[in-house]
Structure 1
């Protein structure tokens, strides 16, 4: 599996509009963060988790010519807003795009993109194949995907485990029974918004503590805000097996 971070930023991205902090003014490319998303190339199968507002820019940057399915963690706009741009894959691949999400996600997509789901479709709108998922394993192109339910304050959000790779974003609580699904993963990606306490996201210290408990071979942090600090400085504070993700980072699992 080849993993590519399409985006590692929080809902506003980094830099934040009109912000003059040292992170937003940084010239380090690792401090430039689009909205959070990840691409998985598993053999011949191409999957993306979440299509935020920067989806078009991200897939163009990484030259992703084929997309077999789009998985959604939850219904917030910074994870769904770019779905309209799957139309290019419809045209190129000549097929509907399979999308996977829990019922609340699908309902939000129907409201947000009502023209896609209407009975009378305007020519050229995106075409999708809806797959409603629950908190149990499902299959995408012959690949088993295990949902991991976490809480984003009070909102249930799905992380996903595929083989030895687990991806979790927008979480601040994971029940023990869900942690059991994660244990044994070689690589775990976890959100770490900032250093200060937050109502709906793990802090840096909380994310590091959880990764130290789970002990993957490698841990990466994502969904990072400008409040976390400069990439180069924060990395110095981390245990050797944990790194900050950054846009465009690729690694194999």
Structure 2
């Protein structure tokens, strides 16, 4: 029997997080903890395994908040900074465990090599630098993490290709604007879906709320949680009241068991 998945929402915010530095927007000034959002990421845990999807600039803070002592790997959706800028902070895990496995499209891995060349080079390695073991994700090819199989789901973030991931009855998608029917079919039967919903107004590279809800209705999960949320979506408690019964706003530090 498969062990249940524990999904920890490490961050549910968009690229600047909430509050935005210096902003006087009412949501940025909110005292409700559910309106304070770090950059988007989740941790998927089962048994003794911990895998993180994306490691943005808040990665260190997220690992400390949840007292994570072991990291078995990082899955990257795409190369944008709010999903990758925390890669250097794998150092404590590397010193304890050795090379940290990462899973990424070849394009994303090449981008990381340019930005974090000292992590990927074997020549004249700086003594304090971490290292990774690169595993390339390909469209249509499932891959194993721990003792589970992951199905990559391809979507588009405007002109940027992104990968979502399905494990067992859980599917995670972020930074999605369009997705093909073939890839949608890979989501069918999912019990819990996480998908981005940036704001109410249309956006060139993200689902807005209407598009996210339409997508949820189309793929029919038992429950859906919205993430990669901007302050422009509104106050958490007010938006939550307007959502369908099986759809909720995710928030930082929310934990699901599937």
Does the pair score TM above 0.5? yes
| Separation in 2, partners of 1:169, 1:39 | 14
| Separation in 2, partners of 1:116, 1:217 | 41
Q: Deviations over 1:65-123 (max 9, x none)?
A: 11101110000010000011111001122x21000100111011101101112222100
- Comparing 206-215 with 160-169, which one deviates more in the overlay? 206-215
Q: Is 2:104 aligned against 1:101?
A: yes
Q: Deviations over 1:34-62 (max 9, x none)?
A: 00000010222110000000000001001
2:228 to 212, 216, 223: 223
Task: Describe the SS at the equivalent of 2:178.
Answer: coil
Give unpaired runs (5+ residues) of structure 2.
none
Give unpaired runs (5+ residues) of structure 1.
none
1:184 to 172, 180, 189: 189
1:86 to 85, 90, 96: 90
> What RMSD over aligned residues (CA atoms) do the two structures have, in Å?
0.7
The corresponding residue for 1:69 is: 73
| Separation in 2, partners of 1:86, 1:143 | 23
Matches within 5 A, 1:163-182: 163-182=168-187
The corresponding residue for 2:199 is: 194
- Comparing 115-124 with 190-199, which one deviates more in the overlay? 115-124
| Separation in 2, partners of 1:45, 1:152 | 29
Runs of 4+ in 1 over 6 A off after TM superposition: none
The corresponding residue for 1:126 is: 130
How many corresponding residue pairs?
252
Q: Is 2:9 aligned against 1:5?
A: yes
| Separation in 2, partners of 1:191, 1:117 | 31
Task: Describe the SS at the equivalent of 2:15.
Answer: coil
Task: Describe the SS at the equivalent of 2:89.
Answer: helix
Matches within 5 A, 1:155-166: 155-166=160-171
TM-score, structure 2 normalization: 0.96
The corresponding residue for 1:46 is: 50
